[in-house]
Structure 1
């Protein structure tokens, strides 16, 4: 792995400029006018819908319950008190228990509170239930561990609750459920869960189609090879692999497998971006980049049929499971066809525009290195690439909270 110290001051300045101005440039297409890239659509959740579409206590959502926490439990000291003035706490018990939760839950509520105020003028987020030890919930309820909250808006306008649930999904809650007409239920993984450390990746046995070697497994792909991708003009072509943003054949990740009516199955991590549409449209403009965990049966993804243009295929099944090995190749065009399904190279950041723009200096250096001998090219590395780590660290400071998934 190359050290960041090898960057020249000029390279660092260019990189910093693009990162810091990213939020102000997000409305401009970084790849020309041929393909319009958009953020995920804001479709409200409907009554009894939950995201992701798996059970709460599974690894694909908030994970297994770790046991009830009472005030005498040593784990109680690890819970935190939420005193956010932008959140209204019901506190019907009168003991402040509705303010007690895990740090991860507190972080997600902070993001959600900002989104609520930005969406509805004069309205705040309201928490009606958080940590609880009164035994009124199901045996394995995550309320007993401070990992779940029940929320409404401060005006108690039930017409807003579907959108409130959608905002909670965007805020990064690991499971969101439009549970009743009177509230939305949200929960998070345990603070100690390794699953929250995985970004946007593919498993080692995922397949890609290369220009010269045909179909190969992801684990056999190398930097410098060209793979089938979606180009800026909306047609399929070959794009060069610039680097691997993450590569580890031993690390275990939580994956979602999305199967289509044409029996194409793509497997990718929950916060990896994939293009979806609610309509059976072949127009690229109809597709938006959304987190894999939000994909629902009935939506459409783009697949490759050995033609120059991708076509839609309806999602028929979504499952989750753990697999060993994580691979995140970055192509020059920021897209890649995996197992015959068109997807993005990016994850964590819920805006492909910003993600693609932020990687521009990296792609430029890769191109320049072909012509200038003293500039070293990126080579195979294990673990998360230093550039990806840097982008995430800077993004936590400068990106708006609804765009970056905070782990």
Structure 2
């Protein structure tokens, strides 16, 4: 959507609220009476982790876990101010250095740790969570340790009962830590994604060097503006159309982020975040899935210069870091990037659901455009230049759009975990 005019902002907020409330009502109706209606489901049984097990079952610095390291933080580093102290009275901090360093961590780490503290007290009344190591400034860990960035903690229970540590690790997984490792008989290691990571920022984006086809020629993603019309696919008819860029779900030319770069058999490439939705085809059946689920041998849908589509095979997947994140939203909810068909949405593993909840954005944009056309017709005899009035640069403000962020945050509470990236 465009940079919304002041007189439209309040209307958008009300439409967003109505859409969310309707979604909740429909969700409740979808779970209506059936076999077993009225029964209360018992609590889910939690399975303790075993020694040396980690969840997820990938290395800590992969995209699906806590992500790449971003560099050590010391007290003279500008990033030091991003660390926040944790004074939760339900947590014991060992603080053997006597500097309070163990209390310092990123906001995301603090939130997950506080959640874990509550789970520990519920699991074992009278027992509290104990942190033996948080942010480290003395070099006691490996060079790429996330302790140096305030993104990792080592925890035990206050009674130091090692028989509890397997369950403590499971509780850490349930609390939302991005990587949990039953690392030692003496503690559990937990870490989180960077505050600038795709999951932490509620965004899924493209890197700026990707190319889109606008109605007036090709343009880099970093140069694309609100109001321009870009090549996309109308899903109901499967036709190529030029669809208006309504807004940017995320727009930040200065932010560094992890991306996946896909090299295709045709020589084409596309670079996007792991939780962006991408159209793939398997046995002539098209699916829209997270980019991170695709690997070598999978096929994506590509359009040639004649506008005909064909399947192109992924031959290489590379993890890269780029500066600049861009996530345009079109009227159709799709976009052709580097000739590859891609969804405009991310995080929630349902293109149709995401497209539905952004219906208020499309409605307001359509209404505004219609009113603008009527106004132009009325004043055209007097001010011919007004038709060309929308010629100035139309870039959004930096960061995740408030509407998108609100939806993603609410989704974390109400959308089933199996369709939500977390």
Q: TM-score with structure 2 length normalisation?
A: 0.61
Deviation at 1:226, TM superposition (A): 4.3
Return the index of the structure with the highest Cα Rg: 2
**Larger RCO (CA under 8 A, 6+ residues apart):** 1
Deviation at 1:378, TM superposition (A): 9.2
Matches within 5 A, 1:2-401: 2-3=3-4, 5-7=6-8, 12-23=13-24, 25=26, 45-46=56-57, 48=59, 50-52=61-63, 61-67=68-74, 79-81=84-86, 83=88, 101-109=105-113, 130-131=133-134, 136-139=140-143, 141-150=145-154, 156-157=165-166, 171=176, 173=178, 176=179, 180=183, 185-189=190-194, 199-210=203-214, 213=216, 215-218=218-221, 219=223, 223-229=227-233, 231-232=235-236, 235=238, 237-238=240-241, 240-245=243-248, 251-262=254-265, 263-269=267-273, 273-275=276-278, 281-285=283-287, 287-288=288-289, 290=290, 294=292, 297-298=295-296, 300=298, 302-306=300-304, 311=311, 313-314=313-314, 316-323=316-323, 325-347=324-346, 352-353=351-352, 355-373=354-372, 381-384=394-397, 388-393=401-406, 396=409, 399-400=412-413
**For the residues of structure 2 that align with 1:341 and 1:123, how far apart are their CA atoms?**
52
The answer to whether the 8 Å contact 2:133/2:153 transfers is yes
The answer to whether the 8 Å contact 1:201/1:269 transfers is yes
1:22–1:128: structure 2 CA closer, same or farther, 3 Å change rule? farther
The answer to whether the 8 Å contact 1:242/1:363 transfers is no
Deviation at 1:106, TM superposition (A): 1.0
The answer to whether the 8 Å contact 1:266/1:341 transfers is yes
RMSD across aligned positions (CA): 5.4
What SS class does the counterpart of residue 333 from structure 1 fall into?
coil
**For the residues of structure 2 that align with 1:331 and 1:77, how far apart are their CA atoms?**
34
1:28–1:227: structure 2 CA closer, same or farther, 3 Å change rule? farther
Report the number of matched residues: 361
**For the residues of structure 2 that align with 1:195 and 1:274, how far apart are their CA atoms?**
14
**For the residues of structure 1 that align with 2:269 and 2:334, how far apart are their CA atoms?**
17
Deviation at 1:321, TM superposition (A): 2.1
The answer to whether the 8 Å contact 1:200/1:328 transfers is yes
Q: CA offsets, 1:340-386, max 9 Å, x none?
A: 33322134667645542332111112223444346899986223389
Question: Which structure 2 segments of 5+ residues have no match?
Answer: 31-54, 158-162, 377-388
1:255–1:9: structure 2 CA closer, same or farther, 3 Å change rule? closer
Deviation at 1:335, TM superposition (A): 1.7
**For the residues of structure 2 that align with 1:371 and 1:100, how far apart are their CA atoms?**
53
Q: CA offsets, 1:269-303, max 9 Å, x none?
A: 46x513377x9554234x42x3x5x4564473623
**For the residues of structure 2 that align with 1:298 and 1:13, how far apart are their CA atoms?**
44
**For the residues of structure 1 that align with 2:262 and 2:248, how far apart are their CA atoms?**
25
Q: CA offsets, 1:165-209, max 9 Å, x none?
A: 6x78xx584xx4768597564244379x99976944334431124
1:202–1:82: structure 2 CA closer, same or farther, 3 Å change rule? same
**For the residues of structure 1 that align with 2:294 and 2:14, how far apart are their CA atoms?**
41
